[in-house]
Amino acid sequence: MCLLLAGLCLVMAGCEPSQNASQAEGSTGEAPAPSSVQDALDRGIAAQGGLATWHSYHTLEYEQVQGDRRVQHLIDLHTRKTLQTTEAYQFGYDGTDVWVAPNLDAFPGNPRFSNGLDFYFFAIPFVLADPGTNREHLGRVTVDGAEYEAVKISYDAGVGASPDDYYIVHFDPETHRLHLLLYTVTYRSQEPNENYNARVYEEWQEIGGLVLPRKMTSYRWNSEQRRLGEKRRETVYDNVRLSTEKPDATRFARPEGAEIDTVAPNAGG
C-alpha to C-alpha distance for 260 and 173, rounded to whole angstroms: 45
C-alpha to C-alpha distance for 75 and 61, rounded to whole angstroms: 6
Domains, in order of start, for the chain: 50-258 (2.50.20)
Q: Classify residue 12 by its DSSP letter.
A: -
Residue range 54-104, pLDDT digits in tens: 999 999 999 999 999 999 999 999 999 999 999 999 999 999 999 999 999
Q: Classify residue 79 by its DSSP letter.
A: T
Say yes or no to pLDDT of 137 above 50. yes
Sign (positive or negative) of CA dihedral 168, 218, 234, 202: positive
pLDDT attached to residue 13: 41
- When pLDDT is cut at 50, 70 and 90, the band that residue 185 belongs to is low
C-alpha to C-alpha distance for 165 and 183, rounded to whole angstroms: 7
- When pLDDT is cut at 50, 70 and 90, the band that residue 47 belongs to is very high
Residue range 14-34, pLDDT digits in tens: 444 433 333 333 333 344 333
Say yes or no to pLDDT of 268 above 80. no
- When pLDDT is cut at 50, 70 and 90, the band that residue 114 belongs to is confident
pLDDT attached to residue 113: 82
Q: If you average pLDDT over every residue of the chain, what do you get? A: 82
pLDDT attached to residue 16: 46
Q: Between vectors from CA 83 to CA 100 and to CA 204, what angle results, nearest 5°?
A: 135
Q: Determine phi and psi for 265, rounding to 5 degrees.
A: -55, -40
